[in-house]
Chains A and B, each alone.
Chain A
Amino acid sequence: MENSLIIAGFGGQGVILIGQLLGYSATAAGKNATFFPSYGAEQRGGTANCTVVIADEAIGSPVVTRLDTVIAMNEPSLAKFESWVKPGGTIIVNSSLVHKKVARSDVRALYIPANELAEQLGSEKSANMVILGSYLGASQALAVEPVIETMRVKMASKAKFLPLNEAAIRAGKELAESQCAAGKGAQG
C-alpha cells in the first residue's frame, strides 16, 4: 500500500496541521510516512501545501508529482494540482470555497462543503478537520479512531476545540463514504 497526497490551500486554513496529523497517525499505526511542506514567505493568506506519503514499504521521494489524492481547500489549489492526480485517483474539493467542478473524467471527485459543515457543528475553524475525515473515508489509508486520538494528543492545548474537531472528522468521513458509495466521481 502506498498513498500519496497533496493538501493545498491558503495559509491559515490548517493544511499543514492536517498533513502532520496524518504523518503522526501513520507512524503510530506502524506505517511509514513522510510529510513535506511548501509554503510562501507569507503566513495567513499566502499559498500553502504539503505532500504526505503513507506506505507499508520504504518511501523514496517525499516530493511527489503523480498523486493518489489531491485535496483542494481553495480554487487556486484545484487549478494548480488537478492534473497531478493519477488516473483513477481522487480529488477532494472543499466545495464551500471552490465553485468550479473537476474537469477530468478519469478521477473520482468528492465535493465536501467543509466550511459549512464545520460551521453547523460549531465553528468554521474545524473545516480542515472535516477535510481530514473525508480523506480517511475516501482513501481508507488509516483507521479513524487512531487519527482522532492523535488529534487529541497533538492539540491538547486547544482543549475546547477537541470535541468539535472529533465531530468534524467523523462528519467528513461519513460524507466522503456516502459520496463514494453513491458512485460519484467517475463523471467528475
Chain B
Amino acid sequence: MEKKFMKGNEAIAEAAVRAGCRFFAGYPITPQSEIPEYLTKRLPEVGGVFIQGESEIASVNMVIGAAAAGVRAMTSSSSPGISLKTEGISTLAGAQLPAVIVDVARTGAGTGQIYPGQNQYNVATKAPGHGGFKVIALAPATVQEAVDLTYEAFDYADRDRNPVILLADGVIGGMMEAVVLPEPKTAFPEKRDWQIDGCQGRERRVNRSLDNDTVKLEQFQRDCAAMYERWQQEDVRYEEYLTEDADLVIAAYGTSARVAKTAIRELRKEGFRVGLIRPITVSPFPYIAFDKLDYSQVKHILAVEMCIPALMVEDVKCAVARRTPVSAYTRGAGFVVSPDEVVGAVKDLISKGGAQ
C-alpha cells in the first residue's frame, strides 16, 4: 500500500470522495478551508458537485437537498461556522436524512481564535442542534484515522438515516502525516423508498422534519432514543493504551490523546504506571471502557483537554461514578498541550498521593 504524506484536511476530503461523497457545499473558515479548496477540483473529476455557498447556513441547507435526493453529501466548517449550521443539522436529524458534517474545531466562544481547540465537545456530543437529537461523533487522533473515520462516517449516516459528525481539531486538519488511502467504495445502498428524485410514474414523496401527527412524532422520538441506546451497545469505539497495570489513567481524545501517549511513554521509562483511554466515538461515549478498570488499582483519572474549562471530563466523571477521583489538565486559547506539561501534571498528582 502506497503511503502518501498528506495534510489532514485534504486527506479528509479525499476520503470523503472515496466513500462516495458526490455533493459538497461549504464556506471557507480557518482551519478547515483546505477541505472545500481540495473538493473544488476533486469532485468534478468524479462527476460530483461542489458549491461554495453564500454562507454556512446556505451550504448546510444545500446538503439537506442533496441528502433528500439520495446523494452522499457532506459539509465542513469550524466551530463558529458549525454554530450557523446547527439549524440545518437538526433538520437533517428531524427529517431522517444522512449526511456527514466535518468540524475542524478551533478555540473559544464567539469568533474565538483560529488556533486549534477541543471546545466543540459538547456541541458534537450533546447538542449539535436544537431538539434533543444525537449523532454519532467520531474523533480522529491521526491523519490516518481521520481518513478511516471519514470513509466510514457515510455508512453510519446511511445506516441510521442520521447526520454524522467528524470532530477533528486544527492540529489534525492542519498537520501533514503519512496515510494509506482506502480504495474507492463501489457498493452503495439501493435506491431507497424515501428518496426525492423525481416522481414520474409514482406517488409524490414528502420529506420534512415537521409532523403534525404528534402520536407519530412521539413514536419517532422513541425510535431515535432506541437507536441511541443501540449505538451504546454496538458502535462504541475506543483505544486502551497500557491500562492493565496502570494506577493513573489519562482520558483524552484527538490531538490531546496523541500528546498524552508520548507523555505516557516518557513516564513509563521513569517507572510510573500510567495508561490511556482514548474515546474514538465521543458520541456514543465509551462509558464501558471505564467500567473495565480495576478501581482497587486506579488511584486517579486525569482528563487532558485542549479546552478551558474541560468538557469531556463530565462524561468521564459520569462513567467513573465516583469510584476514583477525576480531574482535568487543560490548555486553552489555541495552545497545544505538550508532552512535558502532561508529564508534569501526572507527577504533580502522584506527589499529592493521587497514584503510586
Which residues does A use to contact B, with CB under 8 Å? 20, 23-24, 26-27, 32-37, 58-66
Contact = CB atoms under 8 A, between A and B. Distances in A.
Given A23-B5, A27-B3, A34 B176 contact: yes
Contact of B340 (A23, A37, A62, A65): A65
A20 B5 CA distance: 9
A63 B5 contact: no
A35 B178 contact: no
29 contacts: A20-B5, A20-B176, A24-B5, A27-B5, A33-B5, A33-B178, A34-B176, A35-B175, A35-B176, A35-B177, A36-B171, A36-B174, A58-B261, A60-B258, A60-B259, A60-B261, A61-B255, A61-B258, A61-B262, A61-B336, A61-B338, A62-B175, A62-B177, A62-B258, A63-B171, A63-B259, A65-B340, A66-B338, A66-B340
A119 B339 CA distance: 41
Nearest to A36: B175
B347 interface: no
Contacts, number: 59
Nearest to A20: B176
B174 A37 contact: yes
Contact of B177 (A33, A37, A65, A66): A33
B174 A61 contact: no
Interface size class of B (residues with CB under 8 A): 20 to 34
Interface string B91-103: 0000000000000
Contacts of A26: 5
The 7 closest A-B pairs by CB, nearest first: A60-B262, A35-B176, A63-B336, A27-B5, A61-B259, A27-B178, A36-B175
Interface string B1-43: 0011100000000000000000000000000000000000000
Given A20-B176, A63-B336, 7 more contacts: A35-B177, A59-B177, A60-B261, A61-B336, A62-B258, A64-B338, A65-B340
B265 interface: yes
A43 to B, nearest CB: 14
Contacts of B4: 27
Interface of B: 3-5, 171, 174-178, 255, 258-263, 265, 336, 338-340
B22 to A, nearest CB: 30
Contacts of A20: 5, 176
A32 B176 CA distance: 11
B10 to A, nearest CB: 12
Most buried by A among B4, B171, B175, B336: B175
Contact of A63 (B177, B178, B261, B338): B338
Given A62-B171, A63-B171, A23 B176 contact: yes
A62 B177 CA distance: 9
Most buried by A among B3, B174, B178, B263: B178
A35 B7 CA distance: 8
Contacts of A60: 258-263, 265, 339
Nearest to A24: B5
Contacts of A35: 5, 175-177
Contacts of B263: 60
B338 A65 contact: yes
A64 B266 CA distance: 14
Contacts of A27: 3-5, 178
Nearest to A66: B340
A97 B238 CA distance: 49
Contacts of B255: 61
A34 B6 CA distance: 10
Contacts of B265: 60
Contacts of B258: 59-62
A63 B336 CA distance: 7
B282 to A, nearest CB: 20
Contacts of B177: 33-35, 59, 62
Contacts of B262: 59-61
